[in-house]
Chain A
Amino acid sequence: MENSVIEIIGAVLVLLGAIFLFLGALGLVRMPDVYNRIQAGTKASTLGTFLSLIGLLLIIPAWWGKLILLVIFILITNPVSSHVLARASYCIKVPMFKKTVVDKYKEDVVKLFKKDENND
């Protein structure tokens, strides 16, 4: 069966997305501490899912409604969950990598959490 050019471009985009997902997972395994794992893992997987959904959109244009909803959903929820994870990890004092050069958050963290409790 003959495929059109657009379908092949879509398939290549899906493949690129899969490669980014793989790199994200590799970063998750290789990075030394929680914060760097968040950096390498969740961001690369966001781009990977984004690219594969866009590629699928090019292959099957009739499904645009749900695919676009999925893309918007991923783009909104993923940064929120990685930010919340980083903050919670800092709160339960997960140790940072020993080669960390600077930590400006430490001096203000007590004040900030106290302020947060008053707001609740």
Chain B
Amino acid sequence: MKIKSQFALFVVLMIVWFLINNSFQIEIVIIGAVLSFIISLIFGRRTDVLNEFKFTPAAFFYTLVYLLVFFVELIKSNIDVALRVIKPSLPINPGIVKTKTVLKSKMARMILTNSITLTPGTLTVDIDDDILYIHWIDVESDDIDVATEKIVKKFEKILVKIYG
């Protein structure tokens, strides 16, 4: 288990190294490999989240769908919040609501909460097992089920297909 997460960290570090250097000369590859090996040896046991990446074709396809949905949401809600900022009357209606998630894996929860935080209008304040506390700039309902339907479901229904 430890070996597996160390290897995953090693691969991620090597990808970052090649993106920075943008060359495949033999000295650069060797230096990168040695550095990544040492770092992944030390920090490998802390990164077991990386084990949960999946490389099946279905996961790949749904990741693409997820990115598409995410960027559409990102731009739509950014324009929404920008319009609120420009209006002189400042139409906001803020509050912190509770929502629920059905996701179990750490990686899926991390992606879900980061996506919720990145779309303007919603901000994850805290997480307690399967309860998410979300600061919402325009509260439409403080009921837990309605809020879950409005905020979480649009990302969750795709993540369920990838991480189950």
The answer to whether A and B touch directly, with their CB atoms under 8 angstroms apart, is yes
Task: List residues of chain A with CB under 8 Å of any chain B CB.
Answer: 20, 23, 26-27, 30-33, 35-36, 38-40, 43-44, 46-47, 65-66, 68-69, 75-76, 78-80, 82-83, 86-87, 90, 96-97, 99-106, 108-109, 112, 115
Q: How many A-B residue pairs have CB under 8 A?
A: 119
Confirm or deny: B35 has a beta carbon within 8 angstroms of a beta carbon on chain A. Answer: no
Collect the chain A residues with CB atoms within 8 Å of residue B85's CB.
23, 26-27, 30-31, 40
What CA separation (Å) do A104 and B133 show in the bound complex? Answer: 8
With A65-B22, A100-B95, A102-B96 in contact, do A40 and B114 touch (Cβ < 8 Å)?
A: no
Collect the chain B residues with CB atoms within 8 Å of residue A96's CB.
94
Most chain B beta-carbon contacts within 10 A, residue among A26, A39, A97, A103: A39
6 A-B contacts (beta carbon < 8 Å): A23-B82, A32-B92, A43-B118, A65-B21, A83-B124, A109-B126
In the complex, are the beta carbons of B20 and A65 less than 8 A apart? yes
Q: Given B81, B139, B142, which contacts A40 in the complex, CB threshold below 8 Å?
A: B81
Confirm or deny: B75 has a beta carbon within 8 angstroms of a beta carbon on chain A. Answer: yes
Main secondary structure on B side of the interface with A: mixed
In the complex, are the beta carbons of A105 and B133 less than 8 A apart? yes
Collect the chain A residues with CB atoms within 8 Å of residue B123's CB.
35, 38-39, 82-83, 86
Confirm or deny: B120 has a beta carbon within 8 angstroms of a beta carbon on chain A. Answer: yes
Confirm or deny: B33 has a beta carbon within 8 angstroms of a beta carbon on chain A. Answer: no
What CA separation (Å) do A99 and B139 show in the bound complex? Answer: 12
In the complex, are the beta carbons of B118 and A68 less than 8 A apart? no
Collect the chain B residues with CB atoms within 8 Å of residue A90's CB.
125
Collect the chain A residues with CB atoms within 8 Å of residue B90's CB.
30-32
Q: Given A23, A80, A104, which contacts B142 in the complex, CB threshold below 8 Å?
A: A104
In the complex, are the beta carbons of A43 and B128 less than 8 A apart? no
What 0/1 readout, one digit per residue, does chain B (71-106) give for beta carbons within 8 Å of chain A? Answer: 000110010011011100010111111100000000
Collect the chain B residues with CB atoms within 8 Å of residue A38's CB.
123, 135
With A44-B81, A65-B22, A78-B118 in contact, do A23 and B86 touch (Cβ < 8 Å)?
A: yes
In the complex, are the beta carbons of A112 and B95 less than 8 A apart? no
What CA separation (Å) do A82 and B117 show in the bound complex? Answer: 8
Collect the chain B residues with CB atoms within 8 Å of residue A87's CB.
125-126
